[in-house]
Amino acid sequence: MTVRKIKVAFSVGEESGDFLGAQLIKNLKKKYPDISFIGLAGNQMKKEGMNSLFPIEDLSVMGLIDPLINLSKLLKRRKQLIDLIFKEQPDFFIGIDSPSFNSGIAKKIKSKTNIKTIQYVCPQFWAWRKGRAKRFKTYLDHIYSILPFEDELLKKAGMSSNFIGHPLADQFDIEPDKKGAKEKLLLSEDKKYIALLPGSRNSEINNHLKILENVARNYSQSNPNYHFLISLTKESLIKEDRYLNEKNITLMKGNTREVLKACDYGVITSGTATLEAMLSKMPFCAIYKSNSLSNFIITRFLLQLDFISLPNILANKKLIPELRQNKLKTKNIINELNQMINKSNEDLIAEFKNLHRSLLNEDQNKFTNIIDKLI
């Protein structure tokens, strides 16, 4: 029996999507050994054998204002990818996260070709524009949703979708190995550690790093037994020797998951990292700050949620504290840390474990079944 050769075009715009793309490539290669890939890829996808048309860091912008400032560059990059797809004529286009960037590509593809279009990670219509779900089917053939409640909402809107579990949930144990993580990072078993994650995008690091450094320095003065691990991606421009003279601060690059598993508490920038912190069963505070104009437009006209962190959104209640915009101050973060440290977190950890189980994917064939159906 001849196995059909399949070509897939990917578009991924950030580190969290790169991880998802790498996992998807692994699954697809098992089912289709001769499959080939084109488009945009991060470092993890490259390790699976895919080349990238250009560095995905070129798409690393956040909020409303930054994309406007970089609009010309973003449009140029998007056209490059569309031109490649039209030239190569793949069987599928799979956009991973980054819905603003990928939706324009999918729409262009649908208007001129018969290429099947899939969005991996549902656009967060439930947070911004709930009526938008009905329009997805005009340019998408299918959506892989990674949050349990999304699939039901999409099907109600008439969209072809399936919940495939969140890939991160399979990468963490229900009972984390804190001791093992500390050993991997060469950390002292006797010390208490607090994880500080300013974000992965340059704009996030600019908005959060200094205040997190202030938290570490101020807190260490009265609590010398606590050591702070500032975790950044390998690609971060922050120099390795930044905290060389800091007694209680260590910079960790490229070890975010182990840092979260090893630490006792954390202050985490809103995004995928808050889910990783939950899956690590680590009590933490979520933070977020954007420029004033972006925040005004988002909170006044667009955002339809009470929460910004995934654990709270998944639970539909406040599990962890959130500090954003003008509430994001050193003294407020320290206050939240003290509350976490001075109370029992058993109930919170139990909630984290229940949410973890709800995100697991028990059938890895869900990925390839959709490909088979659409071929």
Tell me, which fold does domain 7-165+360-374 have in CATH? Rossmann fold (3.40.50)
pLDDT band at 64 (very low <50, low <70, confident <90, very high): very low
Q: How many Å apart are CA 296 and CA 55, to the nearest integer? A: 31
pLDDT of residue 305: 67
Q: What is the mean pLDDT of the chain?
A: 88
CA distances from 143 to 22, 172, 182 (A): 18, 24, 38
Task: Indicate the burial class of 342 (C-beta count within 10 angstroms; 0-12, 13-18, 19 or more).
Answer: exposed
> Token pair for residue 231?
């975790």
Looking at residue 202, its pLDDT comes to 82
Distance CA 189, CA 70 (A): 46
CA 254-257-262 angle, to 5 degrees, is: 110
Alpha helix segments (H runs only) across the chain: 15-31, 43-47, 65-69, 71-88, 99-112, 133-136, 148-156, 178-184, 202-222, 256-262, 272-279, 292-297, 310-315, 330-341, 346-358, 365-374
Roughly how many angstroms between the first and final C-alpha of the chain, as a whole number?
A: 17
Token pair 């920038």 is at which residue?
269
What's the average model confidence in pLDDT over 239-263? 92
Cβ 349 vs Cβ 317: under 8 Å: no
297's tokens: 């437009």
Of the candidate CATH numbers 3.65.10.10, 3.40.50.2000, 3.20.20.450, 1.10.260.40, the domain formed by 178-358 belongs to: 3.40.50.2000
CA–CA gap between residue 302 and residue 224 (Å, rounded) = 43
Which residues share a beta bridge with 93?
A: 9, 117
Q: How confident is the model at residue 301 (pLDDT cuts 50, 70, 90)?
A: very low
Cα 210 to Cα 74, 197, 242: the distances in Å are 28, 11, 12
Mean pLDDT score, 301-306: 55
The pLDDT of residue 95 is above 90: yes
Q: CA torsion angle for 146, 149, 150, 154 (degrees, to 10)?
A: 140
Examine the pLDDT at 60 and tell me if it is beyond 90: no
Percent of the chain predicted with pLDDT > 70 = 90
Cα–Cα distance measured from residue 12 to residue 95, given in angstroms and rounded to the nearest whole number: 6
Q: Which residues belong to CATH 3.40.50.2000 in the chain? A: 7-165+360-374, 178-358
List the single range of 68-77, 254-263, 269-278, 299-308 with lowest mean pLDDT: 299-308
pLDDT given at position 302: 42
Q: Which residues contact 190 (CB under 8 A, 6 or more apart)?
A: none
**Tens of pLDDT, residues 257-298:** 999 999 999 999 998 899 999 999 999 999 998 755 554 444
